[in-house]
Structure 1
């Protein structure tokens, strides 16, 4: 049967080879469609495909209406790996607090399973939302920054080995927080100026711990510099962009993004498109522009297929994103299409994940 791509459900099987408008082969006959395959069809702007007839007892939810409350098929398999990494991170913090150093092999054994199991999962938006919880913020944040740094390094054309090292550096970026009083670290209210000065020391502590553990290294530099800003407004040394290590710029972007999507008790979780818009704003002052725009460019296509609410109250589905107009996608509302790069009076108010 012939069906519109937005009406596909997981488990549908292609009954013919599928080609895009340029004649390039996209998916083969017999391919069983899951999230990645459906996203591929959307990215190639394919409207209709032929699929085998469905069984009468099919109960799958259409892919385009999946929200964060519904776990995709891979979640039960990878959630324990994610939790193991959080637990391993907690042990590394404890080890650093008690001994003043950590073991490099422990870092590898904790972080590598994430790389091995998440390497091909490119829908980072849904992945982090589905795995995100309100518990263990400090450790969960470290895991997320490590994962995001690994992906971002790959998108910036670092080789696999380098990307893994960068991911490990992101994983360890906050290790110095093991020396910060828990009452300050987890304070639900705004920090006093004295408390803020205290928590800023985690960058120096992290550099000391990692240097003591395995010498001056990429990870120790990142631990020291991840709160520096290219306009010189960061800490601890108020470095400018030309003095920051390139990997510190990567970790800075991942760090800000993870912090802003978190569901900490005292912080209302922001809409994801708002978060990316805020990163875009920061790219003209605090964050490195090339690094940030690369991150946004690769994150935005993950919104394809997500439902959105416009400021006029209409609800539609993102069908296509623009390479340069990051926040003006093509949206399908019922049987019509709305191009936000043309109809600029309309804005997305919320993305349903």
Structure 2
């Protein structure tokens, strides 16, 4: 299986993973379709950056293990969009639908403890705010599951993570959608979203936790965060989880003013700020549930060889060597201590 940039996909290649339209979950192309030029052009029009392609030279295709099914992520985005529109119209937010989709996400995450979060997914581009909040929810629940939170706690964590940025709906859209970094005054306004989110959520649920996640997800261990500048002991443990998930997804996402960083680099940078900015236990859990090199990544090793990631989970990372005397051989990167990654060159 290969993850190939859409511009490099050729007619005759075989699709390795079913494609869905995000707005309604409609199937666009099913796994196993032999791609034609018109299919490829249509997928470009939908904004798909990559396609999974079957590798005819491999003995067998590895299963793509994902934290949640594509249909569930699409549903979560739709439910979140609806909640945001309700806030914009000054209507009552349907928290019941949020809770239902979070329960579905929790169910799927708990199905398989091999799951590792992979950045390069098949979804087409959508508004950053929606996908970011859903990604943060998935990451937070993977971290919470690894740490050992109870089922009830995971559901509360998931609701708070899904709604952590709901306060941004009350921020000036010109600031929210500015195609560049915010200046000081704009950032001060943006920082108000934490308190606004708290106000939206504080009376919507029997538990105070989701509202406090919205309030505290930008607080830091050393008191350098906002809005209150509280230190580690004053920050709720679920807020600490969402804080790490939020930063990781932001660092690994392409923005107009920022090029996405490879996940292994983002983890290293976050780990360097353990205890100062982030809770050490949470960061360690993040490093265990993230796929450091998503499927399709081309790796340059310190010995000068290159390889492509063909499968990744929490327990193994299979890499097919692309050159040298062992060309075509698959090795488990987690078991090869002498095979050190120097750089991620990108998708195939």
**TM-score, structure 1 as length reference:** 0.68
1:330/1:102 Cα in 2 relative to 1: closer, same or farther (>3 Å)? closer
Structure 1 counterpart SS, 2:121: helix
The Cα of 1:59 is off from its aligned counterpart by 6.7
Shift of 1:177: 0.7
Q: 2:219 aligns with which of 217, 225, 228?
A: 228
Gapped regions of structure 2 (runs ≥ 5): 1-15, 17-53
What does 1:279-290 align with in structure 2 at a 5 Å threshold?
Answer: 279-290=270-281
Secondary structure of 2:182 counterpart:
coil
The match for 1:182 among 169, 173, 187 is 173
Deviations 1:7-42, CA, capped at 9 Å, x for gaps: xxx9xxxxxxxxxxxxxxxxxxxxxxxxxxxxxxxx
Instruction: Select 1:125's aligned residue among 106, 110, 117.
Output: 117
Question: Are 1:347 and 2:342 matched, yes or no?
Answer: yes
The one of 70, 83, 93 equivalent to 1:92 is 83
1:212-247: per-residue Cα shift (whole Å, max 9, x none)? 323661101110000001011110011111111111
Question: Is the contact made by 1:228 and 1:234 (CA closer than 8 Å) also made in structure 2?
Answer: yes
Larger mean CA deviation between 170-179 and 273-282 belongs to 273-282
Hey, what does 1:38 align to over in structure 2?
Answer: none
* CA offsets 1:110-166 (integer angstroms, 9 cap, x no match): 33333334443644333x421454421101111111111111111011112211221
Alignment TM-score, normalising by the size of structure 2 = 0.69
1:127-166 equivalent positions in 2, closer than 5 A: 128-131=119-122, 133-166=124-157
Mark the CA change 1:304 to 1:238 in structure 2 (over 3 Å): closer, same or farther: same
Q: Judge which range, 183-192 or 210-219, deviates more.
A: 210-219
| Per-residue deviation, 1:289 | 1.0
Q: 2:209 corresponds to which residue?
A: 218
Identify which range, 257-266 or 290-299, moves more after superposition: 257-266
Q: Sort the Cα spacing of 1:168 and 1:62 in 2 relative to 1 into closer, same or farther, 3 A.
A: farther
Range with bigger deviation, 262-271 or 201-210: 262-271
Residue 108 (structure 1) aligns with = 99
After superposition, the Cα gap between the structure-2 partners of 1:199 and 1:247, relative to the gap in structure 1 and judged at 3 Å, is same
Indicate if the aligned counterparts of 1:311 and 1:347 stay in contact, CA closer than 8 A. yes
Aligned-pair distance for 1:168?
Answer: 1.5
- Determine if the alignment matches structure 1 residue 62 to structure 2 residue 53: no
Q: Does the CA-based 8 Å contact 2:218-2:243 persist in structure 1?
A: yes
Structure whose CA Rg is larger: 1
Q: Mean Cα displacement is larger for which, 98-107 or 238-247?
A: 98-107
Instruction: Give the secondary-structure state (helix, strand or coil) at the position aligned to 2:300.
Output: strand
The alignment covers a number of residue pairs equal to 284
TM-superposed deviation, 1:307: 4.8
Contact 1:177 1:206 in 2 (8 A): yes
The structural deviation recorded for 1:208 is 0.4
- Structure 1 pair 266/159, CA: closer, same or farther in 2 (3 Å)? same
User: Counterpart of 1:208?
Assistant: 199
